[in-house]
Amino acid sequence: MEPDIGDGDCDKWPELDAVCETWCQAKVENAVIEKKIEECKTVVEKMMAQKGVTEISTDRYQVKKSLQSREFISQKCLPNSIWKEYAKVSEFNVLSVKTLGKAKCKAKAEGKVQTLGKKIKAANK
């Protein structure tokens, strides 16, 4: 059974700071990884555009570029009665974390992003 934190007083959960710090650091690392992925995609797309192809491969990797489409409709485009009849509602929990006071995670992230940028520039030379 989870402890009752009553009015949100987290002093009853001393490990919360450690868990949130880990979470915050993971968010930073994830952002760095996502940036690296986007930079790699950009390089590959540039190579594909220069060659005028939608598929490129080596002995170890294959990249295919395709176009996906999705159909959707805005609530503004429909009469309210039709929207109410056919709209699907999904609910889900959302948790968010942010640092308070000194942003320890931000300082760590800036160093990782700078290091990542140097590595990618070196690899592209």
Digits of tens for pLDDT over the chain (125 positions)? 454 555 555 566 778 888 888 999 999 999 999 999 999 999 999 999 999 999 988 889 999 999 889 888 889 999 999 999 998 889 988 877 777 776 566 545 455 555 555 554 555 45
Record the tokens describing residue 9, joined without a space.
């007083």
Q: Is the residue at 93 inside a domain? A: no
Record the tokens describing residue 82, joined without a space.
């039709």
Residue 1: DSSP 8-state:
-
**16 in Cβ contact with 97 (< 8 Å):** no
HSE on the CB side for 74, CA within 13 Å? 2
pTM of the model: 0.60
Q: Is the residue at 5 inside a domain? A: no
Q: Is the residue at 48 inside a domain? A: yes
Instruction: Please state the domain count of the chain.
Output: 1
Q: Is the residue at 92 inside a domain? A: no
What domain range is 46 assigned to? Answer: 11-86+102-120
Q: Is the residue at 62 inside a domain? A: yes
Q: Is the residue at 3 inside a domain? A: no
Pairing of strands 55-57, 62-64: antiparallel
Q: What single-letter amino acid sits at 27? A: K
